[in-house]
Structure 1
Amino acid sequence: MTGTDGDDQRSGGGGHTRTDDGEFRRDRNYLTTRITADGRDGYPVEPGRYRLIIARACPWANRAAIVRRLMGLEDVLPMGIAGPVHDERSWSFHLDPDGRDPVLGIERLQEAYFRREPGYPRGITVPAVVDVPTGEVVTNDFARITLDLGSQWSAHQRDGAPDLYPERWRDEIDEVAEEVYRDVNNGVYQCGFAGGQHAYDTAYRRLWERLDRLEERLAGRRYLVGDTITEADVRLFPTLVRFDAVYHGHFKCNRQKLTELPALWAYARDLFQTPGFGDTIDFDQIKAHYYVVHRDINPTGIVPRGPDTGNWLSPHGREALGGRPFGDGTPPGPPPTSERVPSPR
Structure 2
Amino acid sequence: MKEQNENIILYATLAAMLLLLPLAAMTRGIVNVDFHEVVLFLVDPTNPQIAPIHADVLAYMRAPRFVLALLAGGTLAVTGAVMQALFRNPLADPYFLGISSGAALGAVLMMSANITVLAGFSAVPLGAFIGAGLSTFLVLWLTHRYGEGKSFMTLIAGLGIHAVCSAAISLIISLAPNSRTVANISYWLLGSLERSGWEKNLYLASIALPIILFFLLRTRILNLMLLGDIEASTLGYRLEKSRSRYIFLCAMAVAMVVYNAGIIGFVGLAVPHIARLLVGSSYERLLPVCVALGAGFLAWADVFSHLALENGDMPIGIIVSLLGSPIFLHLLLKRKRV
Q: Greater helix share, 1 or 2? A: 2
Q: Greater strand share, 1 or 2? A: 1
**Higher RCO, 1 vs 2 (CA within 8 Å, ≥6 residues apart):** 2
User: Please, what TM-score do these two structures have when normalized by structure 1?
Assistant: 0.26
User: Please, what TM-score do these two structures have when normalized by structure 2?
Assistant: 0.26
Say which one has the larger Rg. Answer: 2
